[in-house]
Amino acid sequence: MVSEYVLKLKLNINDRWLRGSSRVTIVDHSGRPIDTIRFILNHGLKPIDVKGECINKWRWYRKSLSDLRDLIVNVIEIIYDKLPRKDKRIELTIDYEGSIKDYSNVFPYVKDCIGEYTFIRTDAYSYPILLVNGLKFHDLVSSVINQRFKYRIEVDVPQGYVVANVGKLVNHKIKDEYETYVYVSKVPSWRIDIAIAKFEVLEEKENDLKVFYLPEDKEYAIRILDALKNCLKYYKELFGKPVRWNGYTIIELPETWGSQADYTGMLLERKSFADPYHVGVYHELAHLWNAQSAEQPPSRFLDEGFASYFQLLAERRFIGDKWFKKRLRKAREKLKDLVKKTPKLLEVPLADYGRYYLTDASYLVGALLLYVLHRLVGDQCFYKAIRRFLEKYYERPATLESFIETFVEVCGSKIRSFLEEWLYTTKPVKLIIEKDVDEVVEQYRRTLK
C-alpha cells in the first residue's frame, strides 16, 4: 500500500500539457516475495523515466481493463533485481508528461482535462496509481479506496491561475511567469484532487471552512458557506463529532463533472453549487460520517447509502417535512425506473451490488433501507446505533455484518431478520416497487411484533 505520495506538476495551460514527477513510498505487509510493481496512468500521459533502488528495468504499455474494455490506461511495469527491504518500504519516482484525456465515454462525469479549468484527480488516473491486484476495474476500485497515504503536492501554474486542493496550503510564491502552490494533506487520504482555474476564495476561520468559487458565482459561494455551517452543526447533533475533522473545503466544478467527497472537503459541480436547496452539500458533507468498508468489492451501502439517507434528514431539517416526503417518493420512483432499465436488480441483493456493477442502486436502496429501519426502531435507538457503529469502526474497516451486529446490540435481536432480508435478499426491492414506502414500514412492523 502507498504510505506517502509527493507530486510535482508544471502546467502549460495554453498548450494543454503538463510535466509531472511522482515520488511514491510503498509499504508492503504481505510477507510475500515481490519482483514486479505496476502503476496505471491516464492514457494521455507518457511515462518518461522511473528511478529507484534495485530497479532492473521498466516498461510501459497501453491496455484495456479486463472487465471494462473501453477503459484504456497506460500501465507502468517496474521489474526489480531484488526488492529493497528497508522496513518493507519501497521508494521510487516516476516522471511523465503529456495531456490528460477524459474518460467520459466510460464514466460520463470524468471530463478531466487541461485548460481554462484544469482538473487532476484519481478518477482519470491523472497521476500514477499503484495497481495492487489485477487489471480489473473492481480490483482497482477496492485497492484505491482502501489506501491511506499522506501527500504533498507542488504545482506550478501560469500567473493568474489559482490551485485548489482540500489539503493545507503551506506555501505560495510567484517567480517569473509562474505561481507555485504547495499543499499537504491534513489527514491520510485515498485520493488527490487538484483543480486549477481563476478561482476566488471565501473563508470562515472559526471552523476552518473554505470555498473556492468561480468569480461569477460569488452569491452562490456565500450561500454555500452558510449551508455548510448549518449542516455541520446539525449532523453533529444527530451523529456526534465527525469520524475525522480537520476543517473543510468546497471546490466548485464545472457542470456535470461529478461531485465527490474526501475527508477534508468536497468537489461540487456547478448545478449543486448553485442549488438553492444545497442537497449536494448535504450529501457530500455526510460522508464525514462514513465508516471505512471492508467489503470486497464494496456494495457502497456503508458510504453512499448512509450519505443518501443523512442527506434526506438534512433536507427535512432545512427544507421541511413535505419536501422530505416528496423526496422519498421520488427515490422510490427512481428505483422503479432503475429496475426497468436493469432487471438484474430483481436477482441481486444489495450485499452483491459491487460484484455485479450495480452500486448506483445503493444510493436508493440504501437510503430506503435506512428510512424503514429508522421508522421501525425510532429516533433514540437509530441515532444511538449509528453513533456506536461509527465509533466502533473509526479506525478499522466495517462489513455489512458489523452494521447488523451493532444494530442488534443497540436495538435488540428482532431487528436482525429485517436487516438480513434487506441486505442479503431481493425481497425488499420487490416490495418497494409494489408498495408505498410507508406501507412497507407498516408491513415490517406487523412482522416484527
DSSP label of 301: I
Cell representation of residue 327: 423526496
Residue 35 has pLDDT above 90, yes or no: no
Is the peptide bond between 84 and the residue preceding it cis, with omega within 30 degrees of 0?
no
Instruction: Answer yes or no: are the C-beta atoms of 72 and 62 closer than 8 Å.
Output: yes
Whose cell is 436487516? That residue is: 419
Percent of the chain at pLDDT exceeding 90 = 80
Hey, which of 101-110, 253-262, 386-395, 417-426 has the most confident mean pLDDT? 417-426
What span, in angstroms and rounded, lies between the C-alpha atoms of 383 and 377?
10
pLDDT at 260: 86
How do residues 122-166 score in pLDDT, each as one tens digit?
999 999 999 988 888 877 887 787 788 999 999 999 999 999 999
Task: Name the average pLDDT for the chain.
Answer: 93
CA neighbor of 248 nearest in space, from 236, 258, 237: 236
d(C-alpha 81, C-alpha 27), whole Å: 18
Q: Which grid cell sits at 379?
A: 429516533
Report the alpha-carbon distance of residue 216 to residue 271 in Å, rounded. 14
Neighbours of 387 (CB within 10 A): 17
Q: Does domain 301-448 have CATH number 1.10.390.10?
A: yes
| pLDDT on residue 30 | 67
Report the C-alpha gap between 372 and 364 in whole angstroms: 12
Contact between 44 and 101 (Cβ < 8 Å): yes
Instruction: Show the cell assigned to 195.
Output: 483543480
Grid look-up 422530505 returns: 324
Q: Which CATH number is 1-197 given?
A: 2.60.40.1730
Q: What's this model's pTM, rounded to 2 decimal places?
A: 0.83
Which among 309, 301, 449, 425 has a CA at the least distance from the CA of 374?
Answer: 309
Per residue in 308-365, pLDDT (tens digit) is: 999 999 999 999 999 999 999 999 999 999 999 999 999 999 999 998 989 999 999 9
Cα 237–Cα 241–Cα 247 angle in degrees, nearest 5: 115
Domain with CATH 2.60.40.1730 in the chain: 1-197
Residues present in the chain in total: 449
Give tens-digit pLDDT for 225-255: 999 999 999 999 999 988 778 999 999 999 9
Amino acid at 112: D
Compute the distance between CA of residue 400 and CA of residue 320 in angstroms, rounded to an integer.
Answer: 31
Res. 85: pLDDT tops 90: no
- The segment(s) of the chain belonging to CATH 1.10.390.10 are 301-448
pLDDT reported for residue 31: 67
Residue 159's identity, in one-letter code, is: Q
3-class DSSP state of 181: strand
Identify the CA nearest to 129 among candidates 112, 103, 147: 147
Kindly tell me if the per-residue pLDDT of 83 is higher than 80. no
Q: Please say whether the beta carbons of 184 and 242 come within 8 A.
A: no
Characterize 101-119 residue by residue with b for buried, 16 or more Cβ atoms within 10 angstroms of its Cβ, and e for exposed: bbbeeeeebbbbbbeebbb
Q: In Å, how far from its chain's centre is CA 251?
A: 14
Most distant CA pair in the chain, distance: 74
Eight-state DSSP code of residue 79: E
Q: Phi, psi at residue 421, to the nearest 5°?
A: -65, -45
- Per-residue pLDDT, 66: 84
3-class state of residue 42 by DSSP: strand
Q: Rounded to an integer, what is the distance from CA 287 to the centroid of its chain? A: 8
Would you state the pLDDT for residue 322? 97
Burial status of residue 190 (CB atoms within 10 A of its CB: 0-12, 13-18, 19 or more): middle
pLDDT band at 88 (very low <50, low <70, confident <90, very high): confident
Asked if pLDDT for residue 42 goes beyond 80, the answer is yes
% of the chain at pLDDT higher than 70 = 98
Query: 240-250 as b/e, with b when 16 or more CB fall inside 10 Å?
Result: eebbbbebbbb
